[in-house]
Amino acid sequence: MGANAVVVEGVSKCFRLTTDRPLSLKEAWTRKGPRSGQRFRRVRSVPFWALRDVSLEVPQGSMYGLIGRNGSGKSSLLRIMAGIYRPTEGRVEVQGRTSALLELGAGFHPALSGRENIYLNASVLGVPKAQIDDRVEQIIDFAGLEEFIDSPVKIYSSGMYVRLGFAVAVHVDPEILIVDEVVAVGDEEFQYRCFSHLDSLRSQGATIVLVSHDLGMLRANCDQMAWLNRGLLAAVGEPHDVVNAYLDTIDTEGAASVGHRPSADSDSKEKPLRITDLEFFDESGHRPKSFVSGEPLIVRIHYLAFEPVEDPVFSLGFYDQNNFHLAGPRSHVGGFRPGKLSGEGWVEFRLTRIPFRTGAYHVNAAVQDSDASFLYDRRAREFWLQISGEPDPQANGLLSLEGDWRTRC
């Protein structure tokens, strides 16, 4: 395996999906089969391939992210890595002691207390009781469940389950830690502690394989990423490239679902109109590296028209790091008409105040025909806007809103 903690080679996983399953023993007995008098008709099933010929390598000491839509095979792959499932085809090699947090409440006995479940979980992971005796208070403190630790876990909320499960998983000296999306159930403060601890484990040489829909977090923290699409490995490599490929597919499918017809190939000069660049300016016409929340912003869209185009519609899309769509101004709203465009030029969108809080945002630009139904060109995730200097650092949310407070006594 060399310097790899996990090697997945040609892995496929097939499940059997049952159809026409009887709901009870009585129903199974009373329903007749195709031939007269036949009882207990055989349940029909169809094969479902959750994974198809997946191959990847997870380097030792790295944080490796897996992304994809729900049902794409991510959790099945994690379970194969953890040894819970056996692959139908292919093989997986794991080098090191593995700890996994894959499912809410997995490995817990509902009638046992939280403290007893710590020892139960640790014993399943092969950790000696003496070692857990030394760390049980650390685990309880990390989970923040001192008040409930001697109560049965059947009374725990979903967040309490996650706290306890994660605390055990990361305090048993794992060489390979496999974590599914369940960490997202915890509150914001606990998630911060989780990822701080993951960084600490990685600095000690642990390998972390993580499934999450938080694309911004994965892009910022992972060394490599893989994208699963309907059970197939769609992309693997640098986080920035994999996330962009994933989001490009989502954007293309989303545009098609609302009836937008794409133009010719984006690299073709046969298109009548192309977007060549996007620039950000402050009120003085300067281009700082970071813009201040609450201050004005000018977004300039440069274009090149290879033939005269009458009144095209320009649009912008502001997105956070998780690709959450924050705003999408369009040029035809408000009656703006650029007229007949030809050759090189630009159009501007002037924002009187930046409503976004501190952070990095990507800005997409697109241009369509006058009916906003035919897409001439689109530039996605190429242009990033850095915002700093919140007017109120203690305020919450993605946006900083202007408004007046009033009272009536």
Please report the pLDDT score of residue 338 as a whole number: 81
Reply yes or no on whether the pLDDT at 213 is more than 80.
yes
Cβ–Cβ < 8 Å for 347, 303: yes
Reply yes or no on whether the pLDDT at 207 is more than 80.
yes
Cβ–Cβ < 8 Å for 52, 232: yes
Q: Are residues 9 and 83 in the same domain?
A: yes
Least confident of 82-91, 104-113, 159-168, 377-386: 104-113
Q: Which of the listed residues 196, 214, 248 is the one where a domain comes to its end? A: 248
- Three-state secondary-structure class, residue 257: helix
Mean pLDDT calculated for residue range 154-178: 87
- What's the token pair of residue 366? 């697109």
Reply yes or no on whether the pLDDT at 24 is more than 50.
yes
Q: Are residues 320 and 192 in the same domain?
A: no
> pLDDT digit string (tens) for 352-403?
999 998 888 989 999 988 887 788 998 888 898 999 887 676 777 778 887 8
Q: Are residues 207 and 278 in the same domain?
A: no
The answer to whether residue 395 is domain-embedded is: no
The answer to whether residue 406 is domain-embedded is: no
- Note down the domain range covering 228: 4-23+44-248
Task: Output the CA torsion 372→377→382→387 (10° steps).
Answer: -30
- The structural domain count of the chain equals 2
Please report the pLDDT score of residue 244 as a whole number: 85
Task: Output the CA torsion 210→212→218→222 (10° steps).
Answer: 10
Dist. CA 107–CA 89, nearest whole Å: 27
Query: What are the percentages of helix, strand and coil residues in the chain, rounded to 5?
Result: 25, 35, 40
- Could you give the strand order of the β-sheet that contains 4-19, starting from the edge strand earlier in sequence? 44-59, 4-19, 89-94
CA distances from 25 to 21, 28, 40, 42 (A): 11, 5, 9, 13
Reply yes or no on whether the pLDDT at 42 is more than 70.
no
Tell me the pairing of strands 261-262 and 273-281.
unpaired
> pLDDT digit string (tens) for 304-354?
999 999 989 999 999 987 788 899 998 887 677 788 888 999 999 999 999
Q: Please name which of 356, 374, 358 lies closest in space to residue 366, comparing C-alpha atoms.
A: 374
Please report the pLDDT score of residue 266 as a whole number: 46
The answer to whether residue 113 is domain-embedded is: yes
Burial class (CB in 10 A: 0-12, 13-18, 19+), 103: middle
Q: Are residues 243 and 279 in the same domain?
A: no
Least confident of 18-32, 97-111, 211-225: 18-32
Reply yes or no on whether the pLDDT at 157 is more than 50.
yes
Q: 386 Cβ partners below 8 Å, 6+ apart? A: 289, 290, 291, 359, 360, 361
Q: Are residues 89 and 210 in the same domain?
A: yes
The answer to whether residue 360 is domain-embedded is: yes
The answer to whether residue 79 is domain-embedded is: yes
Please report the pLDDT score of residue 373 as a whole number: 75
Please report the pLDDT score of residue 270 as a whole number: 66
Q: Are residues 297 and 208 in the same domain?
A: no
Q: Are residues 349 and 223 in the same domain?
A: no
* Domain harbouring 377, CATH code: 2.70.50.60
Q: Are residues 189 and 295 in the same domain?
A: no
Q: Which of the listed residues 183, 218, 248 is the one where a domain comes to its end? A: 248
The answer to whether residue 345 is domain-embedded is: yes
Q: Are residues 164 and 208 in the same domain?
A: yes
For 257, half-sphere exposure in the C-beta direction (CA atoms, 13 angstrom radius) is 6
Reply yes or no on whether the pLDDT at 257 is more than 60.
no
Q: Are residues 210 and 302 in the same domain?
A: no
How many percent of the chain have pLDDT more than 90?
A: 43
CA distances from 312 to 252, 264, 303, 329, 395 (A): 20, 16, 11, 14, 39
Residue with tokens 């996983």: 13
DSSP string, 203-217: HTT-EEEEE-S-HHH
Reply yes or no on whether the pLDDT at 258 is more than 90.
no
Please report the pLDDT score of residue 36 as a whole number: 47
> pLDDT digit string (tens) for 93-148?
999 888 888 876 667 888 999 999 999 888 877 788 888 899 999 999 988 899 99
Q: How confident is the model at residue 2 (pLDDT cuts 50, 70, 90)?
A: low
* Domain harbouring 91, CATH code: 3.40.50.300
Averaged pLDDT score across all residues of the chain: 84
Q: Are residues 322 and 202 in the same domain?
A: no
Mean pLDDT calculated for residue range 276-283: 94
Reply yes or no on whether the pLDDT at 261 is more than 70.
no
Kindly report the number of other CB atoms within 10 A of residue 321's CB atom. Answer: 18
The answer to whether residue 29 is domain-embedded is: no
Please report the pLDDT score of residue 259 as a whole number: 54
- Three-state secondary-structure class, residue 167: helix
Please report the pLDDT score of residue 227 as a whole number: 96
Q: How confident is the model at residue 300 (pLDDT cuts 50, 70, 90)?
A: very high
The answer to whether residue 215 is domain-embedded is: yes
Q: How confident is the model at residue 292 (pLDDT cuts 50, 70, 90)?
A: very high
Tell which wins on pLDDT, 209 or 37: 209
Residue with tokens 């597919």: 249
Q: Are residues 316 and 359 in the same domain?
A: yes
- Three-state secondary-structure class, residue 38: coil
Q: How confident is the model at residue 184 (pLDDT cuts 50, 70, 90)?
A: low
Tell which wins on pLDDT, 12 or 165: 12
Q: Please name which of 362, 351, 345 lies closest in space to residue 299, comparing C-alpha atoms.
A: 351
Dist. CA 351–CA 387, nearest whole Å: 14
